[in-house]
Amino acid sequence: MKKLFLCFSLFMISLIYAQQSGEVIYKVKQDKSYNKADIFANLKKQIGEDMVKRIIRETDQNYQLAQDFDYILRFNATQSLYQWDESMPDETIPKSKFLSAVTLGGKGPYYRDLKKKLFFEQFKISGVYKRMKYPYKAKWQITKETDTILGYPVIKAVAGETSVWFTPHIPVPFGPAKYAGLPGLILKFQYHGRVIVAEKIKLFKKAIRIKMPDKGDFTTESAVIKAYQKADAKRWGN
């Protein structure tokens, strides 16, 4: 009898999971209570206090701009696609500040496929499209801390200094940017003073179609880091 009940329970969970599709709108926020001095303390010795103040000032400006952008996560039972809402450009913002602000929320697109065990981000480096794979399985530690977001009970999980809040009431392992892999949809992400939080959720009875981003060759994270370091060195004249 117990075995029959267990099989029935698993069947019902899988049925709910298979029917789950939706769309989430996320916003970027700055946690102003976070001590910025902790982030840049080590940098003062390397680049000087004046440069650190400049970086902090530019960071605050970028957060102010980013608050006006929407970031959209669309998902079905086996796929998810997260990216900045490209219908929201603002030509009055300088290109350099615009890109920095958009990146705070994860410009993307970020794509995840459960069947293929594939998880990657598509982007441009020096005008060339690339697709960078991320580890499929994330290493999260689920805590006992709980909260409520948009009426959904959420549970806190951590990985190093990164914290996220997910809801088992929407049992899909997806979330904003590269943050995923928990037994429920991630509704909030926080790292230092950076916060990405769900503002609106729509659930659909019918599965929505999600197309995999197909521009660019696959590359490694180390190669991407080297490319960005080279670009930063050029920007700051090093």
Q: Is the pTM of this model over 0.85?
A: no
Integer-rounded Cα Rg, in Å, for the chain is 20
3-state secondary structure 69-95: CCEEEEECCCEEEEEECCCCCCCCCCH
Q: Residues of 209-236 as b/e, b for ≥16 C-beta within 10 angstroms?
A: ebeebeebeeeeeeeeeeeeeeeeeeee
Rounded to an integer, what distance in angstroms lies between the CA atom of residue 196 and that of residue 215? 26
Give the chain's end-to-end CA distance (angstroms, integer). 71
Whether residue 21 contacts residue 204, with contact meaning beta carbons closer than 8 Å, is answered with yes
Mind listing the pLDDT tens digit of every residue in the chain (238 residues)? 444 443 444 344 444 444 579 999 999 988 877 655 566 666 655 666 677 677 778 778 777 777 888 999 999 999 999 998 876 555 666 666 676 677 878 888 999 999 999 999 998 877 889 999 988 777 899 999 999 999 999 999 999 989 999 999 999 999 999 999 999 999 999 998 889 999 999 999 899 999 999 999 998 888 878 877 776 666 655 5
Closest CA to 142 of 106, 167, 123: 167
Closest CA to 184 of 206, 211, 164: 164
pLDDT of 225: 81
pLDDT of 34: 66
Give the domain ranges of the chain: 22-236
Residue type, position 130, single letter: K
pLDDT of 9: 41
Contacts of 57 (CB under 8 A, 6+ apart): none
